[in-house]
């Protein structure tokens, strides 16, 4: 009997089948109820006690080998049957490369989403502006350095001594849009103005001559600095996470009084101090303040009746803080290796 089992072991290991009919014949011959294995197990009952151990082991091995052979032949066939003309129809299709939003668009959309949830509308205005909307109505003195050729791209300049309202330039901030809103709407006004701005600056890791801003304006009766602070706290927590802290430092802008700059706690080190926050635990994010009465009056809003707050931030800067990007130029180079990393964000 041992001899027979050994012969069958060899036979099973060398068997090959060409199609599913031959596979079925294999199953019938070895594994079915009336097959060779069943027969051998029947005979095994008559094997004398002493030989039972050896023969039993061999018999089990044969059974195992036959089953394994059957399964491997079967799965071989299944794969083949899913193939047509040598093409594997179960293969995943070619990866279809879909585009992704630019990180600046992602962050701009997020900012719009946060502020529209608390009642702000979105306003837009021209990128090519006049001096009046970018500077004069915003309480910039005629000799203010921000009007200087160093900072502003002038398109046409009628007079270089006293800047006349006809000077045409590329807007240096989207506060110009807020002037247009104040001129055209009556308070209460609650709006944000996202858009592209231009400054005559040398391009470096931290500055660019073209960048994007979102500025906000809220004008109504009894609007206070506390309202400004609470609005900005809400924004910071929505944008950078629930535990984010803010701090306001005194600052100066011609169009706000008092003015402040806002820092958010560094989320990379949790405020403990790291390279990104230069070991201060804080990151500067925006400028803000109470709208200067001169600005309200210049836009025909009664500054005795109404007060307001304004704030403005660079979208590139917000995106740098959010994604830990350390070079602003990456946003403008359109290197796919950089942009592809934002595929999962919307």
CA distance 115 to 238: 10
CA distance 294 to 275: 41
Degrees, nearest 5: CA angle 265-267-269: 100
Residue nearest to ligand PHE (CB): 312
Strand blocks (E) in 111-225: 121-122, 128-130, 154-156, 168-170, 189-198, 210-220
In terms of CB distance, is 69 or 180 closer to ligand PHE?
Answer: 180
At residue 88, φ and ψ (nearest 5 deg) are: -85, 110
In terms of CB distance, is 69 or 292 closer to ligand PHE?
Answer: 292
- How many Cα atoms are found within 13 Å in the side-chain-facing hemisphere of 64? 6
Residue 289 interacts with ligand PHE (CB under 6 A): yes or no: yes
Tokens 């270089």 sit on residue: 160
Q: Write the DSSP assignment of 57-99 as a string of letters.
A: HHHHHHHHHHHHHHHHHHHHHHHHHTEETTEETTSPPPP----
Q: How far is the CB of 311 from ligand PHE (least distance, A)?
A: 5
Residue 175 interacts with ligand PHE (CB under 6 A): yes or no: yes
- Select from 173, 212, 292, 317 the one that contacts ligand PHE (CB under 6 A): 173
CA distance 90 to 232: 53
Q: Cα separations (Å) of 38 from 43, 51, 156, 233, 335?
A: 9, 19, 101, 79, 68
Site for ligand PHE in 258-287 (CB under 6 A): 287
In terms of CB distance, is 40 or 232 closer to ligand PHE?
Answer: 232
In terms of CB distance, is 135 or 342 closer to ligand PHE?
Answer: 135
Tokens of 33: 């109820």
Residue 215 interacts with ligand PHE (CB under 6 A): yes or no: yes
In terms of CB distance, is 210 or 274 closer to ligand PHE?
Answer: 210
Q: At CB < 8 A and 24+ separation, what contacts does 299-304 make?
A: 299/137, 299/179, 299/182, 299/183, 300/182, 300/183, 301/182, 301/187, 301/219
Residue 256 interacts with ligand PHE (CB under 6 A): yes or no: yes
- Select from 130, 211, 312, 315 the one that contacts ligand PHE (CB under 6 A): 312
In terms of CB distance, is 150 or 275 closer to ligand PHE?
Answer: 150
In terms of CB distance, is 58 or 316 closer to ligand PHE?
Answer: 316
- Select from 310, 318, 319, 328 the one that contacts ligand PHE (CB under 6 A): 310
How many residues touch ligand PHE under the rule CB under 6 A: the total is 11
Q: Phi-psi category of 44—alpha, beta or left, where left has phi over 0 and alpha has psi -120 to 50?
A: alpha
Site for ligand PHE in 21-40 (CB under 6 A): none
Residue 228 interacts with ligand PHE (CB under 6 A): yes or no: no
Tokens of 98: 């879909």
Residue 253 interacts with ligand PHE (CB under 6 A): yes or no: yes
Residue 311 interacts with ligand PHE (CB under 6 A): yes or no: yes
Q: How far is the CB of 150 from ligand PHE (least distance, A)?
A: 15
Residue 129 interacts with ligand PHE (CB under 6 A): yes or no: no
Residue 331 interacts with ligand PHE (CB under 6 A): yes or no: no
In terms of CB distance, is 70 or 135 closer to ligand PHE?
Answer: 135
Q: Which residues bind ligand PHE (CB under 6 A)?
A: 173, 175, 215, 253, 256, 287-289, 310-312
């Amino acid at each position: 009997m041992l001899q027979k089992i050994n012969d069958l072991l060899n036979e099973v290991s060398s068997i090959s089948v060409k199609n599913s009919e031959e596979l079925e014949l294999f199953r019938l011959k070895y594994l079915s109820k009336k097959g060779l294995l069943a027969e051998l197990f029947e005979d095994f009952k008559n094997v004398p006690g002493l030989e039972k151990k050896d023969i039993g082991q061999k018999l089990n091995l044969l059974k195992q080998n036959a089953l394994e052979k059957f399964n491997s032949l079967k799965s071989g066939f299944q794969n083949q049957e899913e193939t047509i003309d040598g093409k594997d129809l179960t293969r995943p299709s070619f990866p279809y490369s879909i585009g992704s939003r630019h990180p600046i668009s992602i962050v701009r959309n997020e900012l719009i989403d946060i502020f529209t949830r608390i009642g702000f509308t979105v306003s837009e205005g021209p990128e090519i502006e006049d001096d009046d909307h970018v500077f004069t109505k915003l309480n910039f003195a005629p000799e203010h350095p921000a009007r200087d050729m160093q900072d502003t791209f002038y398109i046409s300049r009628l007079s270089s001594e006293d800047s006349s309202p006809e000077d045409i330039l590329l807007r240096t901030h989207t506060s110009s849009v807020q002037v247009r809103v104040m001129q055209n709407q009556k308070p209460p006004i609650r709006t944000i103005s996202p858009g592209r701005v231009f400054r005559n600056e040398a391009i470096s890791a931290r500055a660019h001559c073209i960048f994007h801003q979102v500025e906000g304006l809220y004008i109504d009766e009894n609007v206070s600095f506390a309202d400004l602070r609470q609005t900005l706290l809400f924004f910071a927590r929505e944008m950078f996470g629930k535990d984010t802290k803010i701090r306001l430092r005194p600052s100066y802008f011609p169009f706000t009084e008092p003015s402040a700059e806002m820092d958010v706690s560094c989320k990379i080190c949790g405020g403990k101090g790291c390279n990104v926050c230069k070991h201060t635990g804080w990151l500067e994010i925006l400028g803000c303040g109470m709208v200067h009465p001169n600005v309200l009056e210049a836009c025909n809003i009664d500054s005795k009746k109404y007060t307001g707050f304004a704030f403005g931030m660079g979208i590139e800067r917000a995106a740098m803080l959010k994604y830990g990007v350390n070079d602003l130029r990456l946003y403008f180079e359109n290197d796919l290796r950089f942009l592809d990393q934002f595929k999962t964000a919307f």
